[in-house]
Amino acid sequence: MSDLSFTRRFDISKNQEWETRQILTMVYAALQEKGYNPINQIVGYILSEDPTYITNYNNARSLIRKLDRDELLQELVRHYLDLDV
């Protein structure tokens, strides 16, 4: 019998971080497979929010549009600075 007296914690931010990483990885791979420079294309998308910077190949354009641009930028800066906030 399990102990039901404790409360399990759920951290949505870690879940969102994982989803963001997965989406970016898939978008990066799709851009690379199509012969684009993935970094340049993703930066173009982030700066302009113009989805045409991202290929439709492997549903990459739809995937990246699931991410909020501000949250994406926050996550990239957080990761770049290696902050666990």
For residue range 10-40, list pLDDT tens digits in order. 555 667 778 888 999 999 999 999 999 999 9
Task: Give φ, ψ of 2 to 5 degrees.
Answer: -85, 155
Widest CA span in the chain: 56
Residue 2 or 61, more confident: 61
* 24 close to 52: Cβ distance less than 8 angstroms: no
Q: Which among 4-13, 18-27, 35-44, 75-84 has the top mean pLDDT?
A: 35-44
Q: Which residue did the predictor score with more confidence, 11 or 66?
A: 66
Contact (CB, 8 A) for 73 and 62: no
The tokens 């641009």 sit on which residue?
Answer: 69
pTM score, whole prediction? 0.78
Q: Please, what is the end-to-end C-alpha distance for the chain in angstroms? A: 36
Q: Tell me, what amino acid is at 13?
A: S
